[in-house]
Structures are given as C-alpha cells and as structure tokens.
Structure 1
C-alpha cells in the first residue's frame, strides 16, 4: 500500500497537491460554521438517576431552575421603597420574557430565604427554556438584556448553570486564540532550529494547517448529527497542530537522510514512505485506538473527544501520507533551501551521537541507571494516593467571573444555596400527609437548611410557612421536593447527603428520583468509574494487537504498556499535587478543587495515545536495524541514535502546543494542557531515553519473543519496515556488547 502511495506521489505529485488544495478550501468553508454546532456541558450520564430526575422535572414541573440573578441594592436594603419598586418591575419584565418560565423572587414571595442576611441582596430564580444550542441562545439573550444595572438603582449579576455556560463559551474561544497565538510562532522557531532550513521548517506547518482546517470541518459535520462539546475545539486543534508537525517531522527527516545518502529524489520518496510512512500509519492507529476508547462513556463531553480526536488523528495521518510525499517530490533537493546560519548539511546515516551514547551508557548498567528514574517517577505518582474527583462548576472560571461571584454570594450570604439544591421527584400522585411526613424526615438530615414542597416548607423536622413557588412543586400526577442544604456544594459532606436522601424511606409506593448538582457529581463519578475498566481494557488490547502486528513480538507490547503506565502515573500525580492540592495556584491563577473526573480520564487517554506515538517512532527504527542483522543492543543504540533527536524535537513541539493552554483562564483546560505536555516530555526523555534501553538490555533476545503460531501469523499478516533500498545505504555503527556489571547484567 505504501509503495503505491509513493508511486502516486511521484507520478502525479502536482495533481495530488491541486486536489489537496481544493479539499482544504472546501473544508475551510465547511468548518467556518463549527462553533455554531458545539455545545457546553455534556458532563452527565443521560441514563443516570439525576438525569432522569431532570427529565421528569422538565416534563411535568417546567424544568429545573438554571438561572440565578443576584440583585443588589447599592445603597440601603432591598426592602427600601425604591429598591422594592424596581425589584418588582424587574421581576415583572422577566415574567414577560418568552424564553423564561418559573420566575420566583424575593419580591413576590417575601421569603427570607431569598434575601441575604444583611438585607442588601435578593435572588431571582428562573428557568431558561430550551435544550442544548437553543438553551445557550436563549440564555445569552436574557443575560445580555438584564445583567448589569437595572433602572440605575439595582445591580444584576447572572449565575446558575446557564450563567456559567454563558461565560465559559466566550472564555474558551479566547483561551484557544491565545494558546494558538503563542504556540504557532514558538513551533515555527523550533522547527527552524531543528531543521535549519526555511523550506523544511514550513512543510510541517502546511500539514498542521490541513489537520486543523480538517478538524473544524469534521466538528461541523459531527456536531450536525450529535452533541459535541465546545471544548473539543481545544483538544483537536492542539492535536492537529502537534501531530501534523510530528508526522511531517518524521517524514522530512527520513527524506533528507535518504537524499544525503545519495539516493535519487524518487528513491528517497519510496524509502521514506516504506519506512517513515509506515511508522506514521501505525502511530496514528495507536493514538486513534486510545482516543476511540472515550466513546464507551455515556457523557457526550467525553464521547465528543473520541469522535473528534480519532478524526483529527486520521486527518493528520492522511495529509502526511498523501500530501507530504507529493510536496517532497516537487521540492526534491530544494527541501534544504533557505539554510540558517547555524545549520550543518545533512550527512549520510546521520544520527544523534548524544542519544546513542546515552543508550550505550544505560545498557552498560541498566539497573543502576533505571532505578533512580523509576524512583523519581514513583515519587511523582505518590499524590495519587489522596486523589479525589469532582465535576466542573463555576470554580473553573476566574475569580472575577460574575457567575462565580453569584455562587460565592449564595454560599456565604444566604440561608442555603437554592442553586445547589437537591431535587427529589416522585413521578406519581402523593397525598399531602405522607408528602409532609417524607419532607419532615428529609429536613432532619444533617446539613439540610430546608425542604420546599407543595405541602409547605420544612426545617429541622418542623413545618414552616408555605415556601416560595410551592404551587409549581405539586401536580396531580407527581411531586417535587427541593432539598436546600447549608453544605459546600460538591464537598464530601454534600455527596454523603445525596446518599442519605436516596436512602430515606419514601411515601408508600413511591420511587423517588434525586437530582441536582451534587447528585449529578455522584452519578457522573459512578458512571465513569463503571466504564473505566472497559475503556482501559480496550486501550490495552488494541495497543497490544497493533504493536504485535508492528513488531512481531508479544514482549514489546507488554514492555510498552508497563512503561507507559509508569509515566502516566507520574503525570497524574504531579497534576494532582498542583490542581487538587493547590500548589502553584498563585502562579497559574486557579482555585484548587478535586480533579475534574472527565478531564482526568481524557488526559489519560490522550497522554497514553501520544506516548504510544513515540513508542512507535523509536521501536520502528530499532526493529528495522534488528531485521538488518544487528544484535539487540546495537539495534537499540543505533535506533535511538537515529530517532532520538527526532523524538525529542517532536516531543518539544507537541508539548508546546499543549503547554500553551497553561495560559487559559478555565482551570481544567490548564490541567489538560499542562498534564498532556508534561506526559509527552516525561515519555520522550525519561522513558525513551533511559527506561526503554534499560528494559531492552535486561530483556535481551527475549525482547523479540513470540510463540510459534503467533510468529507464523505475523509473518503472514503483520507489517514490517521494508521497501526499496536507497542508492547508498546509510553506514551503521556497530556497538560492542556492554560489559557485564558485578551482578552479571
């Protein structure tokens, strides 16, 4: 297959480039509408109890409150004549909005629970109509109209889930633009340093551009048929830029090496495709397999990364395999044009002597060199012993965000947080007496401020005055109870309260559903935790199969899986130390909180896939030399000597595209960017530079072992590095076998 692609690029290079240009233009036109198709949220399992409770509330009770307006009287109290008059006018205006319903406020209920303890602030609760994109549009219209100053006397701030989404969408776009503004110039500068010529440095950016444009087109298409998170933009553009550069880097380096060996342009293209092209294809398969595992999760936040992640990997790989050889054929020796002052001409069989020396040093004393690295990585992983998980809320936004200020005010200045209430739904008729008894029992639970029902308001086991909005909480065919707590939302105590409410004895014959933000957290963690073993199993199995097909060994896939898990454990441990424990929070400007469950899983899958990316880069060259007759140690040293500079350069370039998200204002984007970038560097330096040669030395000839039947299977169906030989094969340096240490290793 790769030989056919090479021949197509050689014979029809200009036609391939013309078709590619037309496709890019069409993808650009299609991708221009991508942002209009993407959604916020997507962190919940649609089949969970909390999601089913929300569906019943939407169907029978007008929907959950999703908008909280915090109204403040700049001077005096909200009961002052002017403030009261304007407050009622505000509520009256809100009730005329076609996009709102279930509007409840302090001014039309006189409930003290909707007024702050100092009397200067009051709450207006409402539900913005619609789902997904319609909800976002309606929320934007309402918030744009009413947030700010009302009648020059009241200050209105928007909060609740729609308030958070309203601010998160534009902030995501700003973060993306800033990250790419930082990453692209840095990557171009690094490419100039790595390649030393202007033309070869620009070629990877061409592939990255195709990948990114393709990503936006793909997101438009996928977003038109299913829910896709707006945060998929951040991942896929970073991956498109990074992988486009990585794959092109591998191809260009091999092409220049072949030219330096004396091969003709046509033979250089053929050899590049049969070796580096094959490596790119396998590398893309391993990354795609890791990202495809995200599709097993029911949350569309994670599934959207599976859809878009697999797509961007395939687009980057296809652009590299079809467009890059055509570009190389057209350019030929001009690929080395525009040489920079510091650049040295490419030499036949060129390799990084530093990486080769490092490999030889490690293999002389594998245990002595590997154990300190393992100790450091295990120490870095130790914070995982105390890891806790949460879901995204207003704390991921900067402290100055209005929705975050509203949440803080509700928590600090009011008797319970209405926006974080648990919603208990009974989807059948319930008489007043058993409903009151059930609400009384719930009000006695520790941490509960009050329970609002159609039968009244209950607190501390007693009935209070009729609560706000009680008329909408009861229907002939169902009842809703709002359990308002004094607890910090999403704390361990709040999660325990969810379990207690779910365990409370309901009215006879009733089967309550418990929803609300804290219930969604509990259900999300349970849902992801339940699917995580399946996802990890799929990643492990597909990776094992792909690496076996690539290497013909059953030991190499196992070695790769173990080393990758060690490096990923270190990465997750460092991220826990930073983002959960709060270290560096002042420098990075975030609020410490439990690790966001979905983003942690996403980071694991992405980092695992990218680690396998470099595993394939290195192993492919080692295997190629091993098949040419070199012994195991010589193949490892020479293989790292040839690929070490490429892998380290590719790792730095890809890490830059992720580290750029460290400038984001949304904290879980910082977590994802910094974590993915760190995982890439740990893998490229500590794992590829030290642990791989140490493991290969310790394994010896058994590193390439496979049972007889599997060897026959690989000989028939496996893919190996092969292809037409260049005009002059690169000279290989044979490494003398390492001396045995005192332990006989």
Structure 2
C-alpha cells in the first residue's frame, strides 16, 4: 500500500495538490454555516424513562413542559404587578404569545393568579410557554418570535429565558468563541512551527494539512446533521484535532523526509522512504486515535456521539493530508522545503543563540551530546527515584477527583451578561418551586382517583418536596392543601382504558443539585398505584448518568484493547502495551484533578470568570478521557516506534531508549506545545463546559509530553530493562508476521533509512545535532553494526 502511495505522490504531485485544493474549496462551501445546523443539548438518553415521559407529555398534554419563559417587569417598577394597567398589558402579552404558531401551553401570573409565577419581591411575573418540536424546530420558533417580545412592550420590560433560550445562547456564544480561538491559535501555531522547522515554507505545510482536515470535517458535520442530531460542541474538537494532529503528523513526516535527504536519498526516494517508515506510524497512530473516539458511539446521548462524528473524520483527514497532500507538496518543493530560514535574523540579534560550528560544518556532533540523550541517561541512572517522584506527584494532582460530583451544566455556564442566564437566575433566587424544574410523573393506565390522591400525599411528604400538583388538587407536607380547579382537572386526558394523568412534584431544593437528583430516585422508589414514567430535567440527568455508567466499561474496553493491539504490533512485547496504558492513564490524573479543583470547587473562578455549580457535566470526563487518552497514545507511538527501531539495530536496551527519546523528544514537545496552544485558545471560551474541555486537555497534553514521556517513560523502561520486550513465543511469531515498525519492510535490523535528522529541534537545530550518530558510535560492536546499517540504507534510498 505504501509503495503504491509513494508511486502516486511522486508521479502526479500537481494533480494531487490541485485535487486537494478543489476538495478544500468545496468543503469550505458545504461546511459554511455548519454551526447553524448543530444543536446545544444532547445529554438525554432517548430510551430512558424521562425521555418516554417527555414524549407522553408532549403527545397527551401539549404545553405541559415549559421551555420558554418571559420575565415581565412593569416599566419603572412602580405600577405593581396587580395594577389595572399592568395586568391588562400583561394579559394582552400572554394572549399574543398564545396565538403564535408553534407555541402551546401558555400561562402566566396574570391569567392564573398563581403566586408561584411571580418573584417573592413582587417586582416581576412570569409567562411560561412550550415551544413545540425538537431542538431545531424550537430554536427556529425562538428566533422568529424573540425580537417581537424582548425589551419594552406596552409599559412592560420583558426579558427572555427558558431552556430553549439558554441552548440558543450557548450555541451562538460557542460559535463566536470558536472564531476568536482560531484567530488566537493560528498565528501562535505558525510562530512555534517556524521556530521548530526554521523554515517558513516547512512551517506552512502542517497548517495546510490542518485547514484541509478542519474544512473537510465541517462539511462532514453539516452532512451528518442533515439526518441526525449533532452537538455544537463538536466544532471545538474539529479545531483542536484538526490543527493539533496536522502539526503532529506534519512534524513527523517532514522530519523523516529531511532525515532521508541528509542520508543521501534523492527527492522521490526520500518521499518513498518517508511514507514507508513515518507514514506507517502516522497511519496506525491515526487509526488508534480514531478507535478511541469511536468508543463514544456506544453511548446513547448525541452529545457524546457527536464527538465521534467530528473526531473520526478530522483524524482520518489529517492522516490523509499528511500521507497524500503533504508528500505531494514535498515532491514539488524538493530541497526547497528548508527555504526561508526566518531564524537567521533571530540568531543575529541573539534571540535563539548561535549554531554550533561543528554541527553546521559537518554534523560531527555525537547524539550523546544532545540534551534529550543526556536527560534520558540521567533519568535511567536514577530510575527508582524518578519513578516514585513522578508517579507520586501525578497521583497527588489527581486526588481532588475522588470528590467529584456529577451533574449537568445549566444556564450558569453562560457568561453573566447573557440574558437567558439573568432570567434563570431570577427564577432560581426569587421564585418558589422553580416552575421549569419540576419532576413530572405520567401514569399511562386508568387509576382510581382515591389511589392517585394517596400517591400524591406520600410524594408530598418526601424530604425536599415543596408541593405536588395533580388532578386531585395541590398537596403539601402529606396533606391536601387546595382542592382541584380547572387547571388541575386538565391533568387527565383520554377516555376509558386509555386515560392518562400526570402529577408535578415541585422541589423545595435546587433541582439540579445532587440532592435534587436524589429526590428523583426517592420519587421513583415510592410505590405508585399503576406503572408510571418519571421525567423532567433532573430525571433526565439521572438517566443520563445511569446510561453512561452502564456503557462505560464497553467504551473503556474498546479504547484499551485498541491500545494494547497497536502497541503490541509496534513492539512485539506484551509488557510495553500494559505500560503504555498505565503511562496514558497517569498523564490524565492532573487533568481530572484540576477539573474538580477548578470547575467543580470554584478555585480560580474569579480569575477565569465563571460561576461554579458544585458539580461537573457527567458526559465531559468521558469525552476528555477518550480524547486525551488517544492523544497520549499518539505521542507514545512516535516514541516507541523509534525505540523499537534502535533496539532492532543495536540490541542495547538502554541506548535504544535514550536514542528514541533523543530522536522524538523535540518533536513530541513541539507538537504538544502547539496542541496546548490550540486547546488553550479553545479554553478561553466564555462557556464553562468549553473552557473546561480546552483547558483540561491542554494540561493533559503538556503533562504527557513534558513529564510522562520525558521522565516517567525512560525511568520505567530503565527499571524493566530487557524484560520490557518480553512476549510469549506464539505472540512473538504473530508479531514477526503482522507487526509494524518504523523500519518498514526488509531484513530485520536494517531500517529503511537512518540518516541525519535535519532541523527538528524546538528552537534549536536538535535534528542536525544527531545527524552523525553512526560515526559517533564507532568503536563498539553495536556502533559498528549501526554504521553498516546506515550505509546500506543510504544506498537503498539513493537507488529509489
């Protein structure tokens, strides 16, 4: 496959680049406005009791679930809610809203007289309504009617809230923040790439791959959104992985291409050898990350599934860009890939420091003289101390996660300036019973009225219940408080055996809090006179948590199995895959600890400008695990593939670890720096969930690259020694037949190429410094064998 790909890219590079440009233009057109087609919810399990209750209420009791709120205040605040003029204007407003197409179940303080539809200070009243249809239809209705009801309305000041308005504000805020994040990330990414590559031309290549992946994925998301629900949060993943993976893969491919050129290959031969070696690793790395993201398809919530819809295409498109578009560009550029060295003026003013003459002249600097090589040697000499210190430190950073509280993000994830949040905050602080946060109970079978009343009595006596409203009246503290009126009588629908009824349990506590979720469980545990469905927003949270818990082991098994198989195919060892899983898990501890300490507990909330709620979104840790674990394996594959290549050449385990880190250390840290910049830009979002996602992933990537890969991996591999490569004989034979390595096909122990690395350093020419490692190794048996391999592979590259 890679030989055919090499023939294609070297024989028709212009055709490939023109085709890629046409596809990019088409994707930009198709994907334009993708955010408008995406949704802001998706945390509910569609097969749960709460979802079936919602469907039953919408079918049998239209408008029973208010998702749209008008907070009405008399202009000037002096007329009072019950003044004749205010009442007349408010009733007219209510009637006008009830006449709108797509709006049902409209009621207000002025039409019902209910004290639960006014604030406790008497300054404002509520108008509640239900916007029909699923999220897209409800959002369309909101956009159509909102301009006619917001602001001054005949002596009234009106503000708009409700879940539909909250989700709309989340969607629009994320779209705006995403544009700002891209404007922040792109120039910083370009600057880092210039420092890494030392060439403006080489630095632009990964960005081109990133744009190819990002625009292509936007088009895919818009297409997917035409036949299924897709979360707007998935757009953030498109930016993060599109740019981040393009840099990862671009660094890896361009570095190997430069290495092949330095080893004596011509341009077509260098491209062919690069695809056969680095290309192989990039492909398997992309497949592993795609499988990690595909694990989210096992969950029923479209919020999580959306990240698979976005993540799989962006990973595969980044790989296609790195394996097809980028090699075609390298063929046309040839040795001009190093043109435009922007670091020269920086060196001239002393910003980067001067190149060492010995390296620039003949590449005679030994690999043992590089900082990464010396670091790995020092770490392995003190392996027990480094292992205990790093593992202990990472576990300490993860300790706050033991106190995690799962919930759902509400309007408070929006900035305080958002109108929908302001309305919801007034309801939360000044309206008894939170009319939009009730627990709804639907009985689908005919039930005796006395039995229903007894059931309502027992529900109203539960701790945390303010009152229960049903067909038999209003119940409070275990007794009937108010006889049924016309509104309560309307809670029965149908006739005969098909009769349905519903009751509303109004909480006296914060409905979305852990106590509110426990109340849902208490309601479900209360014996009912007939089978019932329990719904409402809090019930949706409880069902979502249960659905995630039920399927979490399946997603985890998929991720871990894919990781084990890939690392085994790379290494031929059963020890290294297990270690790789442990390494990746440890790299996530700081992220999860920080999420709880910052987002849940509210530390740094003043600096970061968000409102803590005492819990974190249930689905987000699952999402962050799948992405961060996959990225950790991405870096792990790069490192282990080079360690394996060196071990096949020399048979010296400790030297192989040191050389592998020296060859990839600067690449991994540079790629991690770019990924952290992109994720950090996403983390500047004004929506708390997006801030948590971007900031947490940025921290995980930096910890993985700078602590786990740089310190823990060489320390543990130093402790395990040759045992790191152990595998049972049957699995060893399996690896001999199907295993992969960066050395590609050919005689074992002879890599496809092992020339000098040209300019892959982070801010310095680390690649050039390691260019003559074969000569530096002369004098020992392993070094002699390495030199022969280099000579042979250079001749093979030249022949290509």
Band the TM-score falls in, shorter-chain normalisation: over 0.9
Aligned to 2:373: 356
Contact 1:571 1:678 in 2 (8 A): yes
Provide the C-alpha distance between the structure 1 equivalents of 2:592 and 2:485, rounded to a whole number of angstroms: 46
Provide the C-alpha distance between the structure 2 equivalents of 1:468 and 1:457, rounded to a whole number of angstroms: 12
Matching residue within 159, 162, 169 for 2:161: 159
Provide the C-alpha distance between the structure 2 equivalents of 1:421 and 1:648, rounded to a whole number of angstroms: 50
Identify which range, 639-648 or 254-263, moves more after superposition: 254-263
Deviation, 1:484, is: 1.0
Aligned to 1:503: 525
Contact 1:263 1:726 in 2 (8 A): no
Aligned to 1:653: 674
Contact 2:281 2:741 in 1 (8 A): no
- Does the residue aligned with 1:295 lie in a helix, a strand or coil? helix
Deviation, 1:518, is: 1.2
Provide the C-alpha distance between the structure 1 equivalents of 2:616 and 2:234, rounded to a whole number of angstroms: 19
Structure 1: which 5+ runs fail to align? 738-745
Matching residue within 712, 730, 742 for 2:733: 712
TM-score (norm 2): 0.89
| 1:181-209 CA-partner distances (Å, limit 9, x unpaired) | 11111101111111111101111110011
Would you say 1:294 and 2:314 are equivalent positions? Answer: no
- Does the residue aligned with 1:683 lie in a helix, a strand or coil? helix
Aligned to 1:731: 772
Would you say 1:529 and 2:529 are equivalent positions? Answer: no
C-alpha change, 1:349 and 1:385, in structure 2 (3 Å) is farther
- Does the residue aligned with 2:300 lie in a helix, a strand or coil? coil
| 1:149-169 CA-partner distances (Å, limit 9, x unpaired) | 211x21222222112112111
Matching residue within 386, 390, 412 for 2:403: 386
Would you say 1:574 and 2:594 are equivalent positions? Answer: yes
Identify which range, 365-374 or 682-691, moves more after superposition: 365-374
Matching residue within 131, 137, 141 for 1:138: 141
Matching residue within 76, 81, 86 for 1:83: 86
Would you say 1:560 and 2:580 are equivalent positions? Answer: yes
Aligned to 1:65: 66
| 1:581-605 CA-partner distances (Å, limit 9, x unpaired) | 1111011111113121111110111
Deviation, 1:411, is: 2.1
Identify which range, 392-401 or 170-179, moves more after superposition: 392-401
Contact 1:104 1:469 in 2 (8 A): no
Identify which range, 467-476 or 607-616, moves more after superposition: 467-476
Deviation, 1:467, is: 6.1
TM-score (norm 1): 0.95
- Does the residue aligned with 2:106 lie in a helix, a strand or coil? strand
| 1:451-503 CA-partner distances (Å, limit 9, x unpaired) | 12222222222231546843432113101111111201221221121111112
Contact 2:102 2:141 in 1 (8 A): yes
| 1:249-268 CA-partner distances (Å, limit 9, x unpaired) | 11111212222333221222
Contact 2:259 2:755 in 1 (8 A): no
TM-align CA RMSD: 1.9
Identify which range, 84-93 or 409-418, moves more after superposition: 409-418
Aligned to 1:517: 537
- Does the residue aligned with 2:683 lie in a helix, a strand or coil? helix
Matching residue within 566, 585, 599 for 2:605: 585
C-alpha change, 1:567 and 1:728, in structure 2 (3 Å) is closer
C-alpha change, 1:468 and 1:412, in structure 2 (3 Å) is farther
Contact 1:260 1:348 in 2 (8 A): no
Provide the C-alpha distance between the structure 1 equivalents of 2:507 and 2:639, rounded to a whole number of angstroms: 55
Deviation, 1:546, is: 1.4
Aligned to 2:423: 406
Aligned to 1:427: 444
C-alpha change, 1:621 and 1:488, in structure 2 (3 Å) is same
Provide the C-alpha distance between the structure 2 equivalents of 1:118 and 1:266, rounded to a whole number of angstroms: 78
Contact 2:449 2:472 in 1 (8 A): yes
Aligned to 2:412: 395
Provide the C-alpha distance between the structure 1 equivalents of 2:653 and 2:772, rounded to a whole number of angstroms: 18
Aligned to 2:507: 485
Aligned to 1:741: none
Provide the C-alpha distance between the structure 2 equivalents of 1:25 and 1:689, rounded to a whole number of angstroms: 40
1:176-325 aligned at under 5 Å gives the runs: 176-325=178-327
Deviation, 1:378, is: 0.9
Deviation, 1:632, is: 0.8
Provide the C-alpha distance between the structure 2 equivalents of 1:482 and 1:725, rounded to a whole number of angstroms: 71
1:629-648 aligned at under 5 Å gives the runs: 629-648=650-669
Matching residue within 453, 474, 477 for 2:492: 474
- Does the residue aligned with 2:130 lie in a helix, a strand or coil? strand
| 1:244-302 CA-partner distances (Å, limit 9, x unpaired) | 12111111112122223332212221221122111111110111111111111000000
| 1:411-441 CA-partner distances (Å, limit 9, x unpaired) | 2212210011111111122333222222222
- Does the residue aligned with 2:650 lie in a helix, a strand or coil? coil
- Does the residue aligned with 1:420 lie in a helix, a strand or coil? coil
Contact 1:211 1:316 in 2 (8 A): yes
Q: How many residues align?
A: 734
Provide the C-alpha distance between the structure 2 equivalents of 1:504 and 1:575, rounded to a whole number of angstroms: 35
Deviation, 1:45, is: 0.5
C-alpha change, 1:701 and 1:191, in structure 2 (3 Å) is same
Contact 2:68 2:165 in 1 (8 A): yes
Would you say 1:17 and 2:37 are equivalent positions? Answer: no
1:611-622 aligned at under 5 Å gives the runs: 611-622=632-643
Provide the C-alpha distance between the structure 2 equivalents of 1:448 and 1:283, rounded to a whole number of angstroms: 53
Identify which range, 124-133 or 670-679, moves more after superposition: 124-133
Contact 2:103 2:130 in 1 (8 A): yes
| 1:658-713 CA-partner distances (Å, limit 9, x unpaired) | 01122101001010001111100100011110111011111111111111111111
Deviation, 1:628, is: 1.6
Provide the C-alpha distance between the structure 2 equivalents of 1:436 and 1:349, rounded to a whole number of angstroms: 91
C-alpha change, 1:472 and 1:331, in structure 2 (3 Å) is farther
Deviation, 1:126, is: 0.6
Provide the C-alpha distance between the structure 2 equivalents of 1:222 and 1:348, rounded to a whole number of angstroms: 52
Deviation, 1:129, is: 0.9
Deviation, 1:609, is: 0.4
C-alpha change, 1:349 and 1:217, in structure 2 (3 Å) is farther
